[in-house]
């Protein structure tokens, strides 16, 4: 053995020692590791046990319904998609022991402004305010019910929220058409527009009611539905709120 080693070039001998030390370390580490890190099945079992032993902290909104009317109030309003515990904190314990454990009640303005302060990255149409200009110094909840924050005046005109479309239509040849000739708009759309949608015409025949050569309406220009842009929906070529082609 000694002879064999001395025969090898000096570097190879050192390399061999490094290699042996490395293997020894790997074996040692493997020997010291707990079984749960070596065996996949034990590992999964342990993880499941750890997760199961964690305390459940959220109760879920349905649970609140059995004791609080706020559940029914919130159900159809603007805050429909917010969970109770978004605002009141984790409440599993309160649900089981309501007199001992008190929920958070976020009455301060800067709580609401986390979601409602103006921020250009928020989607257009999301209700935003400028906190320093919007009734400063007063609690938001003195004017808005947090469980049903309908705006104090529900807008009646489509124009209040769709100003640009209304202005466009007003100077187009469709000026005489009411929005509701083409859109079915449930009353609730004006209160919760994202939850209750207005309809949009589905097919070419809808425009054809007034514009097809078969239409009985006199004062409109006519096209033959079978040959005029036949492969496409009318509004792929004509913007319905400004339909004339330049
Ligand atoms: C088993 C019935 C029960 C359940 C379930 C329950 N609560 Fe309550 N809650 C009560 C009672 C009773 C009080 C009044 C406690 C008091 O004033 O001593 C209360 C008080 C509150 C208050 C007012 C605290 C204050 O300081 O004025 C809030 C907010 C509240 N609950 C939210 C919730 C939410 C959110 C849920 C669902 C996650 C929920 N509760 C589930 C019974 C319940
Ligand atoms: C947007 C945040 C928000 C959400 C979501 C919310 N709350 Fe509240 N809640 C508040 C605020 C703020 C108050 C305090 C209102 C006040 O002082 O006028 C309050 C008050 C309460 C109170 C006490 C009422 C009183 O007069 O003392 C109860 C009970 C309550 N909420 C239950 C609920 C339940 C149940 C849900 C879910 C169905 C819920 N809340 C969802 C913000 C919220
Ligand atoms: C976690 C985010 C969040 C918090 C916190 C929150 N809101 Fe809202 N709020 C929303 C969402 C989402 C809507 C629905 C927006 C929509 O329909 O487009 C909404 C809608 C509203 C509206 C209706 C505005 C309109 O005319 O379109 C008002 C008013 C309002 N919230 C007031 C409040 C007040 C007051 C508080 C504090 C008690 C509060 N919000 C806290 C997310 C939040
Ligand atoms: C003095 C009463 C009052 C207070 C306080 C108040 N608001 Fe309002 N808020 C109104 C009125 C009235 C409107 C509807 C007219 C308007 O847009 O100004 C409104 C509208 C809103 C809207 C809808 C804006 C939109 O463009 O759709 C939001 C969101 C809102 N408020 C959130 C808040 C928040 C958040 C606070 C607290 C930081 C707050 N409000 C405090 C009276 C109030
Ligand atoms: C309170 C404000 C408000 C009023 C009033 C309102 N809308 Fe809307 N409307 C919205 C918002 C916000 C959206 C966008 C919803 C979304 O993107 O999910 C919308 C979407 C629409 C859409 C598109 C629906 C879709 O599926 O893409 C149509 C069509 C529409 N509104 C028609 C009308 C008509 C017609 C009126 C009047 C009778 C009207 N709206 C009144 C706020 C309003
Ligand atoms: C001649 C029928 C017609 C009239 C009148 C009309 N719309 Fe539309 N509207 C449509 C059609 C068709 C679409 C679908 C367009 C598309 O998908 O490209 C549409 C789409 C919309 C949308 C979705 C966003 C967009 O720009 O595509 C909104 C919001 C809307 N209309 C609101 C209104 C409002 C508000 C009025 C009244 C001021 C109105 N519409 C009048 C036919 C009409
Ligand atoms: C209730 C009847 C009615 C409906 C439905 C209707 N329109 Fe019209 N449209 C009119 C009237 C009235 C005019 C103005 C008279 C004219 O120029 O034909 C007009 C004008 C037009 C024009 C301009 C014609 C020109 O000569 O410049 C086009 C294009 C048009 N509409 C397309 C559409 C499309 C696309 C739809 C379906 C989204 C539609 N219309 C639905 C009544 C209607
Ligand atoms: C592929 C694009 C396209 C489609 C789809 C289309 N149009 Fe047109 N439309 C045009 C063009 C371009 C013109 C102007 C040139 C012309 O008169 O053919 C026009 C003109 C019109 C005119 C005015 C005709 C006149 O005599 O002044 C009306 C009305 C019209 N279209 C209605 C419709 C209706 C209704 C539909 C759906 C059934 C529709 N269009 C689908 C491209 C289209």
136 shares a domain with 68: yes
Instruction: Print the SS3 string covering 50-66.
Output: HHHHCCCCCCCHHHHHC
109 shares a domain with 74: yes
Q: Would you say how long the chain is, in residues?
A: 246
Domain that holds residue 136: 61-117+132-142
Q: Is the pTM of this model over 0.85?
A: no
169 lines ligand 5 (CB under 6 A): no
Site to substitute for ligand 8 among 181, 182, 210, 223, most atoms within 8 A of C-beta: 223
Q: How far apart are CA 217 and CA 151, in angstroms?
A: 41
> Which ligand 8 atom sits closest to the C-alpha of 225?
38
169 lines ligand 6 (CB under 6 A): yes
87 shares a domain with 136: yes
190 shares a domain with 220: yes
Q: Is 122 within the bounds of a domain?
A: no
What does each of the 246 residues of the chain score in pLDDT, given as a tens digit? 566 666 778 888 899 999 999 999 999 999 999 888 888 999 999 999 999 999 889 999 999 999 999 999 999 888 999 999 999 999 999 999 999 999 999 999 999 999 999 998 988 778 888 999 888 888 999 989 999 998 777 677 898 788 889 989 999 999 999 999 999 999 889 877 888 899 999 999 999 999 999 998 888 999 999 999 989 999 999 999 999 865
| Structural domain total, the chain | 3
**Burial level of 90, CB count in 10 A (0-12/13-18/19+)?**
middle
Q: Looking at residue 125, what is its pLDDT? A: 77
Q: Looking at residue 154, what is its pLDDT? A: 67
Q: Looking at residue 94, what is its pLDDT? A: 96
Which DSSP string do the residues of 74-86 spell out, in sequence order?
HTTSGGGGS-HHH
């Amino acid at each position: 053995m000694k002879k064999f080693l001395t025969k090898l070039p000096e570097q190879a001998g050192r390399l061999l020692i490094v290699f042996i030390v490395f293997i020894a370390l790997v074996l040692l580490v493997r020997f010291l590791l707990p079984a749960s890190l070596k065996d996949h099945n034990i590992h999964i079992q342990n993880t499941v046990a750890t997760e199961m032993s964690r305390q459940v902290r959220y109760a879920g909104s349905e649970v609140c319904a059995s004791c609080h009317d706020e559940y029914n109030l919130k159900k159809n309003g603007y805050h429909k998609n917010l969970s109770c515990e978004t605002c009141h904190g984790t409440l599993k314990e309160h649900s089981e022991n309501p007199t001992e454990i008190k929920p958070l009640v976020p009455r301060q303005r800067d709580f609401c402004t986390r979601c409602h302060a103006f921020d250009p990255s928020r989607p257009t149409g999301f209700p935003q305010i400028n906190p320093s200009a919007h009734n400063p110094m007063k609690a938001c909840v003195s004017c808005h019910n947090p469980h049903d924050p309908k705006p104090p005046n529900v807008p009646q005109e489509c124009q209040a929220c769709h100003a640009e479309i209304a202005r466009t239509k007003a100077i187009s040849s469709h000026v005489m058409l009411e929005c509701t000739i083409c859109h079915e708009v449930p009353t609730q759309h004006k209160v919760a527009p994202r939850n209750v949608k207005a309809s949009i015409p589905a097919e070419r025949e809808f425009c054809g009611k007034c514009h097809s050569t078969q239409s009985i309406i006199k004062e409109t220009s006519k096209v033959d539905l079978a040959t005029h842009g036949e492969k496409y929906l009318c509004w792929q070529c004509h913007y319905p709120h400004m339909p004339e082609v330049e």
